[in-house]
C-alpha cells in the first residue's frame, strides 16, 4: 500500500522521490526544473512579443512614410490652390474693370497696342542693350 501524501508534499514534489526512487528525484531538483521551464516560457513569450512588434512596425512603417508624403503633398497643393485663387480674383477684377471702365480700355490700347488719339504723337523708348550684346 502507498503512503498518503499531503497537498504540501505534492506541490513541492516530495512524493516524487517515493514514486520514482530510481530517478533520484528530490524536491529541490523538481522545483528547479519547473523554475527553469517557467523562466524559459517567459523568455520565449517575450522574444515572440518583441518579434511580433518588429513585424508590425516593419509592415506599417512604409504606410506611415507614405501617409506623411501625402500630407505634405496636400499642404503644397492647398498652397498652390490659394495662390491660383488669388490670381483668379485679380484677373476677374481686371476683366470687370475692362467691361465697365472706358478709361481702362483706352489706357490698355495706348500701352499694349501703341494706339493714339488723332493729333497725338506717340514716342516710344527702347531699352538700350548692354555693350557687347547682339540684337
In tens digits, the chain (135 residues) has pLDDT values of: 556 656 566 555 555 555 555 555 555 455 666 688 888 999 999 999 999 999 999 999 999 999 999 999 999 999 999 999 999 999 999 999 999 999 999 998 888 888 888 888 878 788 887 777 766
Q: Where are the alpha helices (DSSP H) in the chain?
A: 7-12, 14-19, 27-100, 102-113
Average pLDDT over the chain, rounded to an integer:
82
The pTM of the full predicted model, rounded to 2 decimals, is 0.47
Report d(CA 25, CA 103) in Å as an integer.
113
Q: Residue 4: its pLDDT value, please?
A: 64
Q: Residue 32: its pLDDT value, please?
A: 63
Amino acid at each position: 500500500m502507498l503512503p498518503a501524501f499531503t497537498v504540501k508534499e505534492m506541490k513541492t514534489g516530495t512524493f516524487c522521490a517515493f514514486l520514482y526512487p530510481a530517478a533520484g528525484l528530490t524536491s529541490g531538483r523538481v522545483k528547479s526544473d519547473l523554475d527553469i521551464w517557467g523562466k524559459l516560457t517567459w523568455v520565449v513569450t517575450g522574444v515572440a512579443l518583441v518579434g511580433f512588434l518588429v513585424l508590425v512596425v516593419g509592415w506599417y512603417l512604409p504606410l506611415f512614410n507614405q501617409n506623411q508624403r501625402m500630407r505634405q503633398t496636400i499642404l503644397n497643393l492647398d498652397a498652390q490652390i490659394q495662390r491660383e485663387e488669388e490670381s483668379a480674383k485679380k484677373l476677374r477684377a481686371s476683366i470687370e474693370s475692362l467691361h465697365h471702365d472706358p478709361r481702362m480700355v483706352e489706357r490698355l490700347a495706348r500701352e499694349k497696342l501703341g494706339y493714339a488719339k488723332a493729333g497725338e504723337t506717340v514716342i516710344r523708348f527702347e531699352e538700350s542693350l548692354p555693350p557687347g550684346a547682339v540684337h
